[in-house]
Amino acid sequence: MVKVGIVGGTGYTGVELLRLLAGHDKAEVILITSRAECGRRVDEIFPSLRGHYDLAFSDPDVKQLAACDIVFFATPHNVAMHLVPELLRADTRVIDLSADYRIRDAQLWSQWYGEPHASPDLLSSAVYGLPEINRQQIASAQLTACPGCYPTSVQLGFIPLLANGLIDPTQLIASSASGASGAGRQAKIDNLLSEVSDSFKAYAVAGHRHLPEIEQGLSDVAGTEVKLTFVPHLLPIVRGIHSTLFAQLSGPVDDLQELFESFYADEPFVDVLPAGVFPQTRSVKGSNRCQLSVMRPQNRDTVVVTVVEDNLVKGASGQAIQNMNIMLGLPEGMGLANIGLSP
């Protein structure tokens, strides 16, 4: 069994790693850390896990982590970048679910995250863990930076169009909406049920931290600088991201439906819906699947792509395990067979 460590196990991506890895045939979580809950049993905080783990949270200790084959960081940004260098030196492979290694340009990172990067020399060797684009590099990566939840959905939707040069890359628009679990398990008034439930709003319109990450990824695919207007919204649900993407066609196109279907034909976790069918977040709740559709309303020049994923699965912990499987040469879907919990 592959020995797995998790840093920061009390957040939503941490418990989601535990949920998914409990059903993984080749990996076993042997270590899970949390400063705040050190000593407390995992299943005391997460009663859904009773009977599946006989583990308690421990203080993060680099030596113990280095004894794992692979370590997941399920932490806020600004944690991994301090610990990862030592783990890599010990030949432990790392999958970082936080933002620390997603952006290649250290200065750009600093600008959006408000402090200098602690291990900028690793940025160039970190592999951006979007398997649909970087599967080969992930296979040999020592350090994989998992994409953010919004960026996964926005990139998977735009990539077939940009890769084929069909749209104006300077005028992309993403109107995305996320369930409240995306804000993490933190004690903030803003995320109380009484504040968020039965309501809907846009936020971070001036600039969300996922914007530079998305523009970097899309620019790589487009081979030119991409400009995106990105407006995230907060949904009064726990799980689920829905991105509605708009782009201007730059010339005549054939069959967009066929283009998307063939682009993702071999992808196990990207499902292009039949023409005229639009995805709903509930269909992928708890599953590692991204479902999407493409349409050109009124046959005009604006193309609309709608994309759904579970922000905690394909948008975080599921994709992290998908990356782990690729890195370890395991079947890519191992431990990821869950079907969306619908209704």
Nearer to its own copies, 251 or 276 (CB): 276
Dihedrals phi, psi of 96, to nearest 5 degrees: -100, 115
Strands 70-73 vs 27-33: parallel, antiparallel or unpaired: unpaired
Instruction: Enumerate the active-site residues.
Output: 149
Per CB under 8 A, the list member of 191, 219, 250, 257 interacting with its own copies is 191
Please report how close the Cβ of residue 39 comes to its own copies at its closest, in angstroms. Answer: 16
Q: Restricting to residues 209-228, name those near its own copies by CB under 8 A.
A: 211, 227
Dist. CA 214–CA 204, nearest whole Å = 15
Do residues 92 and 71 lie in contact, with contact meaning Cβ atoms separated by under 8 Å?
A: yes
Task: Kindly tell me which of 291 and 325 has the beta carbon lying closer to its own copies.
Answer: 291
H or E element, residue 72: strand 70-73
CA distance 269 to 252: 29
**Cβ proximity to its own copies, 179 vs 327, nearer residue:** 179
Distance CA 306, CA 178 (A): 13
Q: Cis (ω within 30 of 0) for the bond into 160? A: no
Q: Which is nearer to its own copies, 134 or 283 (CB)?
A: 283
- Rg (the chain; Cα; Å): 19
Least distance between its own copies and beta carbon 66 (Å)? 29
**In angstroms, what is the minimal distance from the CB of 31 to its own copies?**
20
Q: What is the DSSP string of 311-327?
A: TTIIIIIHHHHHHHHHH
Which of 271, 316, 322, 327 touches its own copies (CB under 8 A)? 271
35, 125, 201, 262: residue in contact with its own copies (rule CB under 8 A) = 201
* Whole-Å CA distances, 87 to 26, 71, 73, 109, 144: 22, 9, 12, 22, 13
Contact mark string toward its own copies, 130..169, x via CB under 8 A: ----------------------------------------
> 66 or 204, CB closer to its own copies?
204
Which residues, 230 to 269, sit near its own copies by CB under 8 A? 230-231, 233, 235-240, 242, 244, 246, 248
Angstrom CA distances, 214 to 190, 205, 226, 230, 305, stand at 25, 15, 9, 9, 16
Q: Which token pair is 36? A: 């705040």
For residues 265 and 211, give the distance between their C-alpha atoms in angstroms, rounded to a whole number. 28
Looking only at residues 303 through 322 of this chain, which bind its own copies when binding is defined by CB under 8 A?
A: 304, 306, 308, 312
Site for its own copies in 278-297 (CB under 8 A): 278-287, 291, 293, 295, 297
Residues in region 25-54 near its own copies by CB under 8 A: 46-52
Q: Which of residues 58-117 bind its own copies (CB under 8 A)?
A: none
Q: If binding is defined by CB under 8 A, does position 300 make contact with its own copies?
A: yes
194 binds its own copies (CB under 8 A): yes
Among 22, 118, 163, 253, binds its own copies (CB under 8 A): 22
200 sits near its own copies (criterion: CB under 8 A)? yes
Q: How many residues does the chain have?
A: 343
